[in-house]
Amino acid sequence: EPEVTQTPSHQVTQMGQEVILRCVPISNHLYFYWYRQILGQKVEFLVSFYNNEISEKSEIFDDQFSVERPDGSNFTLKIRSTKLEDSAMYFCASSDSGRPGQETQYFGPGTRLLVL
Amino acid sequence: AQTVTQSQPEMSVQEAETVTLSCTYDTSENNYYLFWYKQPPSRQMILVIRQEAYKQQNATENRFSVNFQKAAKSFSLKISDSQLGDTAMYFCAVYMNRDDKIIFGKGTRLHILP
């Protein structure tokens, strides 16, 4: 079965540094998402992306965050100046439909980001 | 491979009925945590219930309870007295402590009908 992959699996960075988290969605999917899980429980929606544009974003997704599909296969999340509270597990997901509640999202295995 | 399977892509029940969403998983780890998340159309994920694998007692949270069968690697969610606001996508997820990895199922779309 096709799967979403993410790299790296773990990332440690200093506060204030930039990080880029990478995702390879399923090849025929057109809709992409980033989520993060804080403190091992709460999962927060960050952003959805379609046709090279952000289609939805949460209030968490401020100017420090950006997403990009640089080459037709990768989907990246950049955090420009990391804060301690950005420490979380970041999940990428992809789907072939973008209708909320109608799509089937395939989640990647996550990238653990630790900001020191 | 570690997997989480939700065998029911979509379910519909009448309001006030009880509904059970199934989830099975595969892991060789002994130390893990299981979650059910609710995702309404807003896309925000809401933690419904959490179970530690080492606890034999099934977790309960108001109208939500789980049937955790560790040997069978099954973690079903029961919603009692279902309400219209329970309509959402429900994800089962398993966090593996040793690998620091969480695996999500593909979700069950639940419709509560008036």
Could you tell me which chain B residue has the CA closest to the CA of A5? B103
CA separation for the pair B37, B58 (Å, rounded): 16
The answer to whether A110 contacts B37, with C-beta atoms less than 8 Å apart, is no
CA separation for the pair B33, B109 (Å, rounded): 22
pLDDT recorded at residue B80: 97
Q: Select the residue of A9, A42, A100 nearest B47 (Cβ to Cβ).
A: A42
**B19-73 confidence digits (pLDDT tens):** 999 999 998 888 899 999 999 888 888 999 999 999 889 999 999 999 999 999 9
Residue of A43, A95, A112 to mutate, interface with B, max B Cβ within 10 Å: A43
Inter-residue long-range contacts of B103-106, CB under 8 Å, 24+ positions, other chains counted? B103/A107, B103/A109, B103/B2, B103/B3, B103/B4, B103/B25, B104/A91, B104/A107, B104/B4, B105/B4, B105/B5, B105/B6, B105/B23, B106/A104, B106/A105, B106/A106, B106/B6, B106/B9
A90 close to B (CB below 8 A): no
Per-window interface: B 53-112 vs A, CB < 8 A: 88-89, 95, 100-104, 106-107, 109
Work out the percent of chain A whose per-residue pLDDT is above 90: 75
Average pLDDT of chain A, as a whole number? 91
CA B92 to chain centre: 4
CA separation for the pair A78, A64 (Å, rounded): 8
Average pLDDT over every residue of B84-97: 93
- Quote the minimal CA–CA distance from A18 to chain B in Å: 23
B9 close to A (CB below 8 A): yes
A59 close to B (CB below 8 A): no
Say if CB B78 and CB B28 are below 8 A apart: no
B61 DSSP β-pair partners: B64
Q: Which chain B residues are within 8 Å of A48, Cβ to Cβ?
A: 43
- Measured CA to CA in angstroms, residue A28 lies from A23, A70, A79, A95, B5 at distances of 14, 16, 27, 9, 22
Q: Which chain B residues are within 8 Å of A91, Cβ to Cβ?
A: 102, 104
Say if CB A30 and CB A98 are below 8 A apart: yes
Task: List the beta strands (DSSP E) in A1-116.
Answer: 5-7, 10-13, 19-24, 31-38, 42-50, 53-57, 65-68, 75-79, 88-95, 106-107, 111-115
**A16-68 confidence digits (pLDDT tens):** 999 999 999 999 899 999 999 987 678 899 999 998 999 999 999 999 999 99
Say if CB A85 and CB A113 are below 8 A apart: no
